[in-house]
Amino acid sequence: MHCRKCHQTAAFNMRHHKLALCQDHYLEWFVAQTQKTIERYKMFGRDDKVLVAVSGGKDSLALWDVLLQLGYQADGLYIGQGIDGGIGYSDLSRQKIDIFIEQHTGVKLHVVDVDQVYGQTIPQVADQHRASKPCSACGLIKRHIMNRVALEEGYTCLTTGHNLDDEAAVLFLNTLRWQTQYLARQSPILEATHPGLARKAKPFCRFYERETAAYAIMRGLDYLYAECPYAVGSTTITYKNLLNELEDAQPGAKLHFYLSFLSARDAGFLDVVTEDVVLNSCDNCGQPTTSPGLCAFCRLWQNRSIGKDTHVIPVSVSLVGTPVMPVGEEIY
């Protein structure tokens, strides 16, 4: 198989696009496609200050790398979850980010270590709440920290490395359960609909996972291959596997599923369910919450004597740049 552009041996074949490319042209294509997605969904421009949530995995590091290549003002945010899982998962992920920073001189990284800031690691919080897995607490805490760092540090857009496989799996799950409120909110760009909400974007939402992996490998990014130990057996993985089977039989099915959904939503298919959500401000942290009183994040720490003092707890560190305060929000 040969590269469509230069006819040298192809390094990567995308059946769904009927497109094979050599390494140089694949890397060029990937960066150009990211820029197209940013423009298509009006995510951000050159004057925006962009925050990239990085985990040490391929998607988030690839996203940061591409945004820097495209010349965006893109800083990183790493949240230390304190997950060991027998492999020292959080330590390993942090090491990968340190390597990235060594290779991309001058970039700025904010670090919020949950244990240092709040006094418990994410698995410890989950244990305290007798949760069988820390994923609910983890998702809540990460969203909360990302939102507040973005707002407090003046970032005009918070980006994550969610790819098409992630988006299609969530869409599949919410469709099967007919979760219309969740469906109405699933989007490549989420506008800030409350003063306490940061604007959010997913510039990789149209890339298959294998495309971001290929980019990371071809660019020589040293990323963490291991998944979070708590991801094993997750519902999302089950849905991803089902969609992969479908994709094998029908190349492009996943992309078509996701893009058709976005078109239907843009055509007003879900308008009827988007009106009802009322956002209150949390009594403690001021971040948006669907229920009156405390947001879910503040309720999580309520018995940990952090409560009102959240804002004055000394903080994490910024590897390069300014310190980051502990933060709070609930993404509704």
| Residue ranges that bind ligand Q46, judged by CB under 6 A | 134-135, 138-139, 228, 230-231
Closest separation between CB of residue 138 and Zn ion, Å? 17
CA geometry: angle at 271 spanning 265 and 276, to 5°? 135
Binding mask 293-312 for Zn ion (x = CB under 5 A): --x--x--------------
Minimum separation from the CB atom of position 196 to Zn ion (A): 9
288 binds, among Zn ion, ligand Q46, none (CB under 5 to 8 A by kind): none
Distance (Å, rounded) from C-alpha 291 to C-alpha 332? 9
231 binds, among Zn ion, ligand Q46, none (CB under 5 to 8 A by kind): ligand Q46
Closest approach of ligand Q46 to the CB of residue 142, in Å: 7
Q: Is 5 in the site for Zn ion (CB under 5 A)?
A: yes
CA–CA gap between residue 211 and residue 205 (Å, rounded): 11
Closest CA relative to residue 90, chosen from 100, 98, 79 = 79
Contact flag: residue 56 with Zn ion (CB under 5 A):
no
Closest CB 238 distance from ligand Q46, rounded Å: 14
Question: Which CB, 38 or 79, lies closer to ligand Q46?
Answer: 79
For the chain, where are the E strands, in sequence order? Answer: 12-14, 19-21, 49-53, 73-80, 109-113, 157-159, 189-190, 200-201, 280-281, 288-289, 318-320
Minimum distance from CB of 188 to ligand Q46 (Å)? 19
Phi, psi of 144 (to 5 degrees): -60, -50
- Closest contact distance (angstroms) between CB of 242 and ligand Q46 is 19
Q: Which residues in 77-96 contact Zn ion (CB under 5 A)?
A: none
Q: Which of 82, 90, 160 is nearest to 126 (CA)?
A: 82
Q: Does 3 bind Zn ion (CB under 5 A)?
A: yes
Nearer to ligand Q46, 45 or 139 (CB): 139
Cα–Cα dist 226/322, whole Å:
30
Sole binder of Zn ion in the list 12, 14, 20, 25 (CB under 5 A): 25
Of 50 and 79, nearer to ligand Q46 (C-beta) is 79
Q: Residue 245: what residue type?
A: E
What DSSP line would sit under 259-303, residue for residue?
A: HHHHHHHHTTTTHHHHS---PEEPTTT--EESSSSS-HHHHHHGG
**Nearest distance, CB of residue 120 and ligand Q46, angstroms:** 14
Q: Which option in Zn ion, ligand Q46, none does residue 5 bind, with CB closer than 5 to 8 A by kind?
A: Zn ion
Task: Name every residue whose Cβ is closer than 8 Å to that of residue 91 and which is 6 or more positions away in sequence.
Answer: none
Query: Does 328 interact with Zn ion (rule: CB under 5 A)?
Result: yes
Out of 22, 38, 117, 331, which residue is the one contacting Zn ion (CB under 5 A)?
A: 22
Please, which residue, 22 or 331, has the CB nearer to Zn ion? 22
| CB contact at 8 A, 95 and 56 | yes
Q: In this structure, are residues 58 and 50 in contact, taking their beta carbons and an 8 Å threshold?
A: no
CB of 268 to Zn ion, least distance (A): 33
Position 285 contacts Zn ion (CB under 5 A): yes
Q: For residue 48, which of 197, 204, 200, 206 has the smallest C-alpha distance?
A: 200
Nearest to 197 by CA among 150, 139, 141: 150
Binding site for Zn ion (CB under 5 A): 3, 5-6, 22, 25, 282, 284-285, 295, 298, 328
